Chain A
Amino acid sequence: MNEKEIIKSELKQLIERNPESFPFIAQYWEIKIKDKTTLEHKWLELGKYNSKQSNSNPFYKPISRMIDLSKIN
């Protein structure tokens, strides 16, 4: 049994032994063990009150229309 399977098995046993510590649906959880990654999620800073967001959103319409797209297509 590899390390991931051992961790998975231990987690299942933990859920079985302590059902009151987990949601009632926990017995049906499909457990996946992920590798630890060194990549950190890069947050977008919004400049005030230490506010951050994970993803940004583009403006809902073109800000200007410099490129004549009909020539490209």
Chain B
Amino acid sequence: MEETTPTQHIKLHSNCIPVKGAMRSVICDLQRNLYIPVPHSLIDLFDEDSLLNLELLETTLDTASLQIFSEYLHLLERQEFVFHCNKLEAKNFPTINTEWDFPSQATNCVIDINQGSEHDYTDLIQNELDSVNCHYVQLRSFDAFSLSFWDDIIKIINGSPIRSVDFIIMDVSACFSHKEISEWVYSNRKIRCVTLHSSSENKIVRQQNLGFSLVLSVKEKINSPISCGNIHPSYFSINVESFTESLAHNTCLNRKIAIDTEGNIKNCPSMAKSYGNIRDTKLIDVVNNADFQKVWHIKKDEITKCKDCEFRHICTDCRAYIENPEDQYSAPLKCGYNPYTCQWEEWSTNPLKQQAIEYYGMQALVKDEK
């Protein structure tokens, strides 16, 4: 018989999803974009419907354990991760659908540019990206370009279906001042972020406004795609789209398309395999190629180390630079997190990674970073 009187149950909100790692768990709040680490023992108290019977718990736990539990309960209540209800009311709060899809054959695109690049930006943005419904683009330049060069590109983007664009640009005072770039960003509202690399200092040049118009300068020198693939909590994306995509797809490469500096179409500019050149190959043909799609399905639950990591469904992956280049299910090389000790360490000094660093020719990059 169903309960009709209120009883002391707590239930995790549907958007607060626990993920178990090797040593601890995290509860990811996919609506408020935050997470908290908690012990496995707390997660184990909830049943498969994310429901916990407080009355039953009080009769089964000893005094010391109850004291610890009450502290965690206070934390969960303060974060608004749980709500009190009875078993009948809990049925009104079903779990969220974890199926992922996106109305685009390619969701995002990386375009690399250097002085030797001969991309036809009008055709690429207005025709090719539109053919695959790609609305999110990042342009990364390894050489210095004038502001008028970037202005010509943004004019094409402004009249195209592109929704937002990121730029990674070399900071050269001879080409533009920080004031000029800030004003340019302000007047082109599809620009989400401009990162100026090879700059004299790390600073926020222009604060973001509603998620757009951010301008950053960083001292780091970026002269090739080899700088990519960093794994850091700042890159975590704690939202429904990322989380559900991660359950069945690769969090970096799924539906990504990349054009390298020479116009080669790849899964990622850092990867070796090309599926044709943008001069003579249609993006739609590459995206529909089953071989191109293979890496889309390498999910975190299959990757060494990641499958034991509590952050696996909010963290992005890297398949271009991995610890064992011979094993496509090897962990990302530039990840310094150890899920068995729950510690972040410097990845580049890890003795177990030195062979891979040499394999990818990253010695100079790693030396610069130290």
B190, A67: Cβ atoms closer than 8 Å? no
CA distance A61 to B196 in the complex (A): 20
Which bucket holds chain B's interface residue count?
35 or more
* Interface size counted on chain A using CB atoms at 8 A: 25
Distance (Å) between the CB of A49 and the closest chain B CB? 10
Q: A63-B108, A66-B230 are in contact. Are A57 and B242 (CB under 8 A)?
A: no
- Asked if residues A69 and B232 are in contact (CB atoms below 8 Å), the reply is yes
A67 with B197: CB separation less than 8 A: yes
Chain B residues contacting A72 (CB-CB under 8 Å) are: 202, 218
A48-B161, A69-B230 are known contacts. Are A56 and B197 too (CB-CB below 8 A)? no
* A62 interface contact, C-beta 8 A: yes
Are B241 and A60 touching (Cβ within 8 A)?
A: yes
Q: Closest CB-CB distance, B365 to chain A, in whole Å?
A: 10
Q: Mark B225-253, 1 if CB is under 8 A from A, else 0.
A: 00111111011010101100100000100
CA distance A31 to B51 in the complex (A): 49
B164 pairs with A59, CB closer than 8 A? yes
Contact of A59 among B108, B195, B222, B234 (CB under 8 A): B108
- In the complex, how many residue pairs between chain A and chain B have their CB atoms under 8 Å apart? 107
Cα-based distance from A72 to B209 in the complex (angstroms): 21
CB-CB nearest in chain B for A73: B234
Judge whether A62 and B316 touch: CB under 8 Å: yes
Contact with A along B339-366 (1 / 0, CB 8 A): 0000010000000000000000000000
Complexed CA–CA distance, A66 and B162 (Å): 22
Identify which of A44, A57, A65, A71 contacts B228 (C-beta below 8 A).
A65
Please tell me if the beta carbons of A65 and B235 are within 8 angstroms of each other in the complex: yes
The answer to whether B211 and A59 have CB atoms under 8 Å apart is no
Identify 26 residue pairs between A and B in the complex whose beta-carbon atoms are under 8 Å apart, listed by A's number.
A42-B189, A44-B158, A45-B158, A45-B159, A46-B163, A47-B130, A47-B159, A47-B161, A55-B189, A56-B189, A56-B190, A57-B164, A58-B164, A60-B239, A60-B241, A61-B251, A61-B316, A65-B235, A67-B168, A67-B218, A67-B230, A68-B220, A68-B227, A69-B230, A69-B235, A70-B336
**Known A44-B158, A60-B237, A66-B228; 11 more pairs at CB < 8 Å:** A44-B189, A46-B161, A47-B160, A56-B190, A58-B136, A60-B241, A60-B242, A61-B251, A62-B235, A63-B137, A72-B218
